[in-house]
Each structure stands twice: as structure tokens, then as C-alpha cells.
């Protein structure tokens, strides 16, 4: 009894190891499926549709396209935020599509695809100020929140700016409305939210298209997964050149969605980050 238990444990371990070793394109095609790790809790990247109980989202659509190009079935596996990279490294998933931020530290652990979503910190300005580009804010007073990465990022992008920080983003926004500064800088998502809350007066405001700093989300594969990264990037390039990538972005992030972004300010064409 004990021996059979032990041997089955060894068998399981072996199968895990073997799954880990052969995860390149040929192995995936052999299996007939690609296991994609996703969060399932991060709308609109991947979340459970309350009606169908299926995981849907921006990253899920991208994963489906990749599976289609490989000619295999996509299998989604829900994983926790902290488990993302370990699950990939241990071979339990072939591909991560899990709201993973591409940063320099993680490059040593996994291989990143081209960035599929680029967000960042942006500036909200009054249209009457005539400011339409970031560099017009040089030397001006810029308002933001204390404690985050906003202030260092503003000074990196605009070293001559005079930054005034407040305890809450509401106070900083109020100061902008009163004309106490030229721009209010915050994370893009927070800014869109605030913009919506201004209500009818929002017509008098604009969010500058350029990012002060960027955060890129990318798909990730194991370091030893051979030509899988190439295959993933090929699918992404196809989606980008056919315009489907833009459509997918607008479907999940565009007008009428919770994110309510008017347009896409990035392209899926680079796997480099700053």
C-alpha cells in the first residue's frame, strides 16, 4: 500500500516534470491543447461572466486567437496573483495571460511577449489652458496626490515642473478646477473615473494622450519554451496588422465599458519596457 502510494506520487511528479520540459510548440500541438493561466478576477482582462459562468475578457480573447493559430484547444486555468510565475515555471501552465506587468526584475524569470496593454499616468488639463501636449507643461504648476509614484514620475518627465501634492486626489482635482495648477496627474484608470465624475463640466477638460510613465501588461512563457514566444508574438502581430487588436481593445476597454477609454493610445509591437 505504502509502496503503491509512493510510486503513484513519483509518477505524478514525473508527469509534472515531463510537462515542464516539453512545452514548446511541438509539444503543445502534440497534446492538442494549450494551458493558459489567467486570473479570472480582473475585469476586463479576465473575469467570470455572471450569466454563462465562463471566464471571458481581453486576455481570454487574445489566448483564444493564439490557440486558434496553433490549431489547439485553449484550456484556461485560474490562478492566484502570487502564484502566476511559479505556476508557469513549474510547467502547470504553458502561457500566462494574467494581467502580468512586464518589468525588468521579472525578465530574469520568464520571457515576455509583446506588450498587449500599455497604461500609464496621464495629465488632465483644462481645455481653456490651451495645453495639448506634455511638453507644454514644463515649468508649470502640476497637481497630484501624495505618497504614490506620481510625483517622481512627473519630475522624471518634466524636471522643471513645480509639483504640488495633496492628501487626496479629490483635493488635487478641486485645485485644478479652481485653476491653481495647469494639470492634474494620476493613474489613467483613476483619471478616467474622476473625469466621469466631473459630470457636465467634463467638456471643458481633456486628458493628454501621452503617458508620463507607462506600465505594460504582457503575456509570458517559460524561459525554456523554445519557439512558443515566437508563435505568440506572431499571432499578436497578425491581430495588430489586421486591426483586430484595436477592435478587441475597444470591445473591453472602449466607450461604453467600465474603463470607457475613447481610443487606444498604444500598439502591440514591442516586447521592450523602460
Partner 1 sequence: MPDFDYSLLLSGQYHDMLLSGLMLSIKLACVTLVCSLPLALFIALLRLSPVRPLQWLGFAYVESIRNIPLLAHMLFWYFAAPEFLPESLREWLYAGNIEAISAIVALTLYTAAFMSEDIRSGIRAIPIVQLEAGRALGFGYLESMRLVVLPQALRVTIAPLISQTLNLWKNTSIATVVGVAELMYQAGQVETATFRSLESFAFATSAYLSVSLLITGAAAWYQHRYVQAKSR
Residues at the site binding partner 1, with contacts judged by CB under 8 A: 143, 146-148, 151-152, 164-167, 171, 174-175, 178-180
Select 167 or 263, whichever has its Cβ closest to partner 1: 167
Smaller CB separation from partner 1, 91 or 181: 181
Nearest CB to partner 1, comparing residues 48 and 163: 163
Please report which helix (H) or strand (E) contains residue 121, including its range.
strand 111-126
DSSP-assigned states of every residue in 214-266? EEEEEEEE-TT-TTHHHHHHHHHHHHHHHTHHHHHHHHHHSTTSSS--SS---
Least distance in angstroms from the C-beta of 213 to partner 1: 15
> What percent helix, strand, coil does the chain show, rounded to 5?
45, 25, 35
Cβ proximity to partner 1: between 19 and 164 the closer is 164
Strand partners, 15: none
Q: Minimum distance between the CB of residue 62 and partner 1, rounded to whole angstroms?
A: 35
Q: Are 193 and 152 in contact (CB under 8 A)?
A: no
Q: And the C-alpha cell for 22? A: 516539453
**Cβ atoms within 10 A of the Cβ of 164, count?**
14
To partner 1, the closest distance from the beta carbon of 178 in angstroms equals 6
What is the distance between the alpha carbons of residues 31 and 106, in angstroms, rounded to a whole number?
28
- Which element (helix H / strand E) includes 8? helix 2-21
Least distance (Å) from partner 1 to the CB of residue 167? 6
Which lies closer to partner 1 via its Cβ, residue 182 or residue 222?
182
Q: Minimum distance from CB of 48 to partner 1 (Å)?
A: 36
Q: How far is the CB of 179 from partner 1 (least distance, A)?
A: 5
Contacts of 225 (CB under 8 A, 6+ apart): 23, 24, 94, 111
We find the least distance from the C-beta atom of residue 180 to partner 1, in angstroms, to be 5
Closest CA to 112 of 230, 23, 24, 265: 230
Q: What is the dihedral of CA 233, 271, 111, 116, to 10 degrees?
A: -60
Cβ proximity to partner 1, 71 vs 105, nearer residue: 105
In the complex with partner 1, the residue whose CB is nearer, 34 or 157, is 157
Amino acid at each position: 500500500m505504502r509502496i503503491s502510494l509512493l510510486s503513484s506520487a513519483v509518477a505524478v511528479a514525473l508527469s509534472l516534470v515531463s510537462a515542464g520540459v516539453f512545452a514548446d510548440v511541438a509539444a503543445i500541438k502534440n497534446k492538442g491543447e494549450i494551458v493558459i493561466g489567467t486570473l479570472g478576477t480582473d475585469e476586463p482582462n479576465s473575469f467570470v461572466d455572471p450569466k454563462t459562468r465562463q471566464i471571458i475578457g481581453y486576455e481570454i480573447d487574445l489566448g483564444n486567437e493564439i490557440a486558434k493559430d496553433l490549431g489547439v484547444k485553449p484550456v484556461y486555468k485560474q490562478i492566484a496573483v502570487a502564484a502566476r510565475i511559479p505556476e508557469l515555471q513549474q510547467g502547470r501552465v504553458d502561457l500566462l495571460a494574467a494581467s502580468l506587468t512586464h518589468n525588468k526584475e521579472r525578465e530574469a524569470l520568464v520571457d515576455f511577449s509583446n506588450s498587449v496593454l500599455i497604461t500609464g499616468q496621464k495629465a488632465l488639463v483644462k481645455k481653456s489652458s490651451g495645453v495639448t501636449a506634455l511638453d507644454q507643461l514644463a515649468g508649470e504648476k502640476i497637481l497630484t496626490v501624495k505618497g504614490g509614484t506620481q510625483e517622481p514620475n512627473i519630475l522624471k518627465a518634466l524636471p522643471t515642473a513645480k509639483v504640488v501634492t495633496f492628501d487626496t486626489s479629490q483635493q488635487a482635482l478641486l485645485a485644478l478646477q479652481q485653476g491653481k495648477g495647469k494639470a492634474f496627474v494620476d493613474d489613467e484608470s483613476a483619471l478616467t473615473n474622476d473625469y466621469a465624475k466631473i459630470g457636465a463640466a467634463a467638456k471643458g477638460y481633456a486628458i493628454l494622450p501621452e503617458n508620463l510613465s507607462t506600465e505594460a501588461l504582457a503575456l509570458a512563457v517559460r524561459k525554456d519554451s523554445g519557439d512558443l514566444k515566437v508563435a505568440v508574438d506572431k499571432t499578436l502581430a497578425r491581430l495588430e496588422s489586421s486591426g483586430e487588436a484595436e477592435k478587441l481593445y475597444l470591445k473591453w476597454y472602449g466607450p461604453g465599458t467600465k474603463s470607457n477609454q475613447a481610443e487606444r493610445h498604444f500598439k502591440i509591437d514591442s516586447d521592450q519596457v523602460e
